[in-house]
């Protein structure tokens, strides 16, 4: 637990942590449209859509405070660096402001760290040159503790904005032990993000472990439960 963090106390604090996820392959365009509307209405930090949905999502989110995000190297990070860079530039040109890049899992488990360092540096430069955010997704379910630590170091050295535990398609979204492992090794520059948070209780848990963002598909339920909790707190304070 991050004992220096004050407990969440406002709607905006929690909503500002959520990356509403719309990347499942079976989603229809209408479902993506509805998801963008939900993210906008609930005023979450960002909505993450599939690359082919970026143009539509950019129109739906125009004028809102919710940032548009998309994915690169999805879902296992095994595309070449050149392809990832092309993907990122194309998405940024279309209006994406946040890029989630999956680490090349095969290269990481093969200990090809120089390859990964070069890829991370190029992706950071590409995103930051356009004023965009880069989040590196580790897919911790496939990694040893040592490799998780190395991925944190690579993210820090490259200057990534966030390091996320997993995609929504991973065998596991996050483990509290992983968050506790990653947080001190990311330093002050790289923020911690969790994957696949689905309840208010889990949202409080990852916040307490030091996360600044988390991905969710159950965004409405989490924030409706949070609003109800805040009302109960207010009523209790008045009585």
Residue 225 maps to which CATH number?
Answer: 3.20.20.70
Q: Is the pLDDT of residue 2 over 70?
A: no
pLDDT mean across residues, the chain? 96
Q: Is the pLDDT of residue 177 over 90?
A: yes
Residue 212 lies in a domain: yes
Predicted confidence at residue 170, as pLDDT, reads 80
Residue 64 lies in a domain: no
Q: Is the pLDDT of residue 1 over 60?
A: no
Contact 46/69 with Cβ under 8 angstroms?
yes
Closest CA to 178 of 147, 203, 199: 147
Task: State pLDDT tens for residues 156-166.
Answer: 999 999 999 99
DSSP per-residue codes, 148-161: HHHHHHHHHHHT-S
Residue 89 lies in a domain: yes
DSSP per-residue codes, 47-114: EEE-GGGHHHHHHHHTTSSSEEEEEESTTT--S-HHHHHHHHHHHHHTT--EEEEE--HHHHHTT-HH
Q: What count of other Cβ atoms lies within 10 Å of the Cβ of residue 95?
A: 15
Predicted confidence at residue 168, as pLDDT, reads 80
Contact 214/19 with Cβ under 8 angstroms?
yes
Residue 156 lies in a domain: yes
Helix (H, G, I), strand (E, B) or coil at 126: helix
Residue 222 lies in a domain: yes
Residue 43 lies in a domain: no
Please give the average per-residue pLDDT across 34-39, as a whole number.
98
Predicted confidence at residue 3, as pLDDT, reads 59
Full residue range of the structural domain in which residue 113 is found: 69-233
Residue 11 lies in a domain: no
Please give the average per-residue pLDDT across 82-103, as a whole number.
98
Of all helices (H) and strands (E), which one includes residue 226? helix 219-238
| CA dist 149 → 93, 140, 146 (Å) | 33, 10, 5
Number of domains, the chain: 1
What span, in angstroms and rounded, lies between the C-alpha atoms of 5 and 196?
A: 22
Q: β-strands 191-194, 162-164: how paired?
A: parallel
Q: Is the pLDDT of residue 38 over 80?
A: yes
Predicted confidence at residue 154, as pLDDT, reads 98
Global confidence as pTM? 0.95
């Amino acid at each position: 637990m991050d004992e220096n963090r004050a407990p969440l106390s406002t709607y905006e604090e929690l909503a500002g942590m959520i990356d509403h996820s719309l990347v499942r392959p079976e989603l229809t365009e209408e479902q993506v449209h509805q998801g963008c509307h939900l993210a906008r209405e609930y005023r979450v930090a960002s909505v993450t859509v599939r690359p082919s949905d970026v143009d539509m999502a950019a129109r739906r989110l125009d004028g809102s405070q919710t940032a548009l995000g998309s994915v690169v190297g999805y879902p296992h990070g095994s595309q070449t660096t050149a392809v990832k860079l092309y993907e990122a530039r194309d998405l940024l040109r279309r209006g994406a402001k946040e890029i989630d890049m999956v680490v090349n899992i095969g290269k990481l488990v093969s200990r090809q760290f120089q390859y990964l360092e070069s890829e991370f540096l190029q992706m950071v430069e590409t995103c930051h040159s356009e004023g965009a955010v880069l989040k590196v997704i580790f897919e911790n379910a496939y990694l040893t503790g040592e490799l998780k630590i190395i991925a944190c170091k690579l993210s820090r050295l490259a200057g990534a904005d966030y390091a996320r535990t997993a995609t929504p398609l991973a065998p596991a979204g996050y483990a509290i032990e992983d968050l506790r492992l990653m947080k001190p090794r990311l330093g002050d520059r790289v923020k911690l993000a969790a994957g696949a948070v689905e309840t208010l209780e889990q949202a409080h848990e990852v916040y307490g472990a030091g996360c600044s963002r988390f991905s969710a598909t159950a965004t409405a339920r989490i924030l409706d439960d949070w609003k109800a909790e805040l009302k109960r707190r207010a009523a209790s304070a008045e009585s």
